[in-house]
Amino acid sequence: MGLTINDTFPNLMGDTQDSSEFNLYDYLGDSWGVIFMHPGDYTPVCTTELGEAASKKTQFDERSVKMCGFSCNSAESHRGWIEDIKAATGQDVEFPLFCDPEREKSVELGVLDETNKNAKGLPMTVRSVFILKPDKTVALMLTYPATCGRNFDEILRCVDSLQLTTRESVATPVNWNKGDDVIVNFPLTDADADEKFGKDNYRIVDLPSEKDQELTKHYLRYTKDPSGGAKKAGLFSRFRKK
């Protein structure tokens, strides 16, 4: 049985390309974390992904997010693969790549794919992403097939959404990016929203299902991004003022 959202991610303790005493919890400290699962070293799609992850390290650092790779290979294999990644992408992989050659952690995490096996007939790990909160619980999971490369702009977008919605009483709508308008969190009544945001600082969308009803809570309400204000003009103009 694999992990799901809000489960505690187990500590990864063992080898990386640089250490024989790696401890994931110590490494993350009070930071957020992103764990990337890889089917194996020297795989083409993952080579491009790790190069892209390395290129975005500064953007992850700015968000207080630490990255960690993971595959069922040895430290020696990781070190050789890192040289290939640098040659192919021009990027140095400086974050840890956890080693799980015996597949013990892969079994615990539930990330082995019995339909995708290596040359020795052993199942390979699925290409999952786990975004972890500072308390080491799983905030978000993404899983990709072997043929589809991950989108690291989307992973950063998800981090922005998760960090914002953890701090504020808002949710992020479809295709949201940092600075766009956000949705007033559904559990808040309109009175709660008045108190939280101010009566003139959020908008209620006119919806047929709510027409001519006296409601304590309208379900679709927009406000500015509390972390930096709306960057797209015109959103509020579509909605009636409360």
Residues in contact with 41: Cβ distance below 8 Å, sequence separation at least 6, in sequence order: 71, 73, 77, 78, 80, 81
96 residue type, one letter: P
* Euclidean distance between CA atoms 35 and 37, whole angstroms: 7
Token pair, residue 205, equals 């969308």
- Residue 200, SS3 per DSSP: coil
Task: Give the number of residues written for the chain.
Answer: 242
Residue 17 DSSP class: S
Token pair, residue 130, equals 């786990």
Query: Comparing C-alpha atoms, which of 12, 9, 10, 3 is closest to residue 98?
Result: 12
Query: Comparing C-alpha atoms, which of 34, 9, 5 is closest to residue 135?
Result: 9
Helix or strand (DSSP H, E) at 30: none
Residues noted as catalytic: 46, 135
